[in-house]
């Protein structure tokens, strides 16, 4: 039986938090409120209102954490490195590693006023502008992958080789730990990915790690100007690795059913809805990166679904233990096989 309490966020002591931020966050003064809002299944996020303005506070969840998980210092490092670069990110104000302040690690960043599209079908965007939203999203991914690792001090942000081999091993371990009873489609997907691992040498780039349309914040569109990404959000899974891992993730979530918790575009008439095809999106990316536009992307997309499934298994475990940070964790965990089966379907395309 699942624990009925699945959300685990640290209590915010406004006095201690405000005093620390005034001492360490440039320009911060007069903390008024810290209000948690829904978003993400990993690290709690809070809207902060202060005399000096609006901010976003990102904290670790309360309770026991897996080693290397919820590493906000890695997020803080990449945000700091990218600030002012071709990749737009919110300005980081302060990172706190002292758990005596509120009980967990946290960081404060500037609030960015923009639009986040939660649904890949873009129902909140007029039909004629949907293609431009996707073009801007692909261009932001290219900007991330063209980041000068040496110039921004990120060359040691991840290990350089065997990316998929290492990731497959890591996430398989996490899945088996979280779900020792196993899952037929997940076990089948792991076996097929192991048999088709890409072994060729590849460029090493900065990876966002969770490349999706809903991790981008857009400037509210005006008729006289094009779509523009104001900020790339949620860098928790960022590292160095194979560029097609991010592209695979961006495309694969579109293969999910339209009525799933993470709604995809399966069965949607893209032309009728003004949405670009996956072939058009991948061609835009591959040409901008000087890569072969005819490359077979099935492994990379299926791998993304495998990793989503492994994460869902972890969410299911944390929900059962009462240490998840969003009510949706249990729903994602209980439907993990949707991700795994989608990965198998992609390989069979």
Digit-coded pLDDT (tens) for 230-262: 999 999 999 999 999 999 999 999 999 998 888
Is the pLDDT at 21 greater than 70? The verdict is yes
pLDDT attached to residue 315: 78
With bands split at pLDDT 50, 70 and 90, how would you rate the model's confidence at 195? very high
- Whether 317 contacts 178, CB under 8 Å: yes
Residue 320 lies in a domain: yes
Is the pLDDT at 198 greater than 50? The verdict is yes
142 and 175 in a single domain? The answer is yes
d(CA 92, CA 16): 20
With bands split at pLDDT 50, 70 and 90, how would you rate the model's confidence at 61? confident
In terms of residues, how long is the chain?
349
95 and 168 in a single domain? The answer is no
β-bridge partners, 95: 107
Residue 2 lies in a domain: no
Is the pLDDT at 66 greater than 60? The verdict is no
102 and 141 in a single domain? The answer is no
With bands split at pLDDT 50, 70 and 90, how would you rate the model's confidence at 314? confident
With bands split at pLDDT 50, 70 and 90, how would you rate the model's confidence at 7? very low
Tell me which residue range forms the domain holding 70.
14-110
100 and 134 in a single domain? The answer is no
149 and 98 in a single domain? The answer is no
Average confidence (pLDDT) over 59-67: 66
Mean pLDDT of the chain: 89
Average confidence (pLDDT) over 200-227: 86
Residue 61 lies in a domain: yes
Q: Of 17-21, 37-41, 320-324, where does mean pLDDT reach its minimum? A: 320-324
Is the pLDDT at 24 greater than 70? The verdict is yes
Burial class (CB in 10 A: 0-12, 13-18, 19+), 300: buried
140 and 57 in a single domain? The answer is no
93 and 213 in a single domain? The answer is no
40 and 162 in a single domain? The answer is no
Residue 93 lies in a domain: yes
CA gyration radius, the chain? 20
Could you give the angle at which helices 163-178 and 184-195 cross, rounded to 10 degrees?
160
- Whether 34 contacts 68, CB under 8 Å: no
β-bridge partners, 96: 106
Choosing from 110, 142, 159, the residue where a domain stops is 110
Residue 48 lies in a domain: yes
SS3 156: coil
Q: Of 219-228, 268-277, 320-329, where does mean pLDDT reach its minimum? A: 320-329
185 and 105 in a single domain? The answer is no
pLDDT attached to residue 71: 77
Choosing from 44, 75, 110, the residue where a domain stops is 110
- Whether 326 contacts 45, CB under 8 Å: no
Average confidence (pLDDT) over 91-100: 95
Look up the CATH number of the domain holding residue 234. 3.90.1200.10
Please report the DSSP string for 76-139 in residue order. HHHHHHHTTSSS--PPEEEEE--TTTTSS-EEEEE----B---STT-TTS-GGGHHHHHHHHHH
pLDDT attached to residue 316: 75
pLDDT attached to residue 335: 81
207 and 300 in a single domain? The answer is yes
Residue 9 lies in a domain: no
With bands split at pLDDT 50, 70 and 90, how would you rate the model's confidence at 333? low
Please give the angle made by the CA atoms of 269, 275 and 281, to the nearest 5 degrees: 120
Q: Of 65-69, 93-97, 98-102, 197-201, where does mean pLDDT reach its minimum? A: 65-69
Question: Which residue, among 4, 42, 36, 1, has the nearest Cα to 308 in the 3D structure?
Answer: 42
Look up the CATH number of the domain holding residue 75. 3.30.200.20
Residue 30 lies in a domain: yes
- Structural domain tally of the chain? 2
241 and 268 in a single domain? The answer is yes
Choosing from 110, 137, 160, the residue where a domain stops is 110
d(CA 262, CA 215): 13
SS3 177: helix
Higher per-residue pLDDT: 102 or 332: 102
pLDDT attached to residue 43: 81
Residue 6 lies in a domain: no
Give all strands (DSSP E) within the chain, no chain letters.
31-37, 45-50, 53-59, 92-96, 106-110, 205-207, 216-218, 229-232, 239-241
188 and 336 in a single domain? The answer is yes
């Amino acid at each position: 039986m699942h624990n009925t309490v699945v959300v685990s966020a640290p209590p915010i002591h406004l006095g201690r938090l405000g005093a620390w931020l005034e001492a360490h966050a440039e320009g911060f003064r007069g903390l008024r409120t810290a209000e948690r809002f829904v978003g993400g299944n990993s690290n709690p996020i809070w809207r902060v209102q202060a005399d000096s303005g609006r901010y976003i506070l990102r904290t670790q969840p309360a309770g026991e954490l897996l080693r290397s998980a919820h590493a906000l210092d890695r997020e803080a490092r990449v945000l700091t490195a990218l600030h002012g670069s071709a990749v737009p990110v919110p300005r980081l104000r302060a990172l706190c590693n002292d758990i005596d302040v509120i009980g967990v690690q946290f960081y404060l960043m500037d609030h960015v006023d923009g639009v986040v599209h939660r649904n890949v079908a873009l129902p909140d965007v007029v039909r004629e502008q949907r293609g431009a939203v996707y073009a801007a999203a692909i261009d932001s991914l290219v900007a991330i992958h063209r980041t000068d690792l040496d110039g921004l001090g990120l060359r040691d942000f991840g290990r350089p080789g065997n990316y998929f081999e290492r990731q497959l091993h890591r996430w398989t371990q996490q899945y088996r730990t979280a779900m020792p009873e196993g899952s037929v489609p997940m076990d089948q997907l792991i076996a097929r990915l192991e048999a088709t691992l890409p072994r060729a040498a590849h460029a090493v780039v900065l990876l966002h790690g969770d490349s999706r349309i809903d991790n981008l914040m857009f400037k509210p569109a005006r008729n006289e100007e094009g779509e523009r990404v104001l900020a790339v959000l949620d860098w928790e899974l960022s590292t160095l690795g194979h560029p097609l891992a991010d592209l695979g993730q961006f495309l694969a979530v579109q293969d999910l059913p339209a009525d799933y918790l993470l709604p995809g575009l399966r069965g949607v008439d893209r032309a009728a809805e003004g949405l670009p095809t996956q072939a058009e999106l991948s061609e835009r990316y591959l040409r901008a990166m000087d890569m072969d536009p005819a490359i077979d992307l099935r492994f990379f997309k299926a791998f993304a679904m495998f990793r989503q499934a492994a994460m869902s298994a972890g969410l299911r475990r944390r929900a059962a233990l009462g240490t998840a940070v969003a009510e949706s964790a249990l729903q994602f965990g209980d439907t993990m096989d949707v991700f795994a089966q989608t990965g198998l379907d992609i390989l069979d395309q």
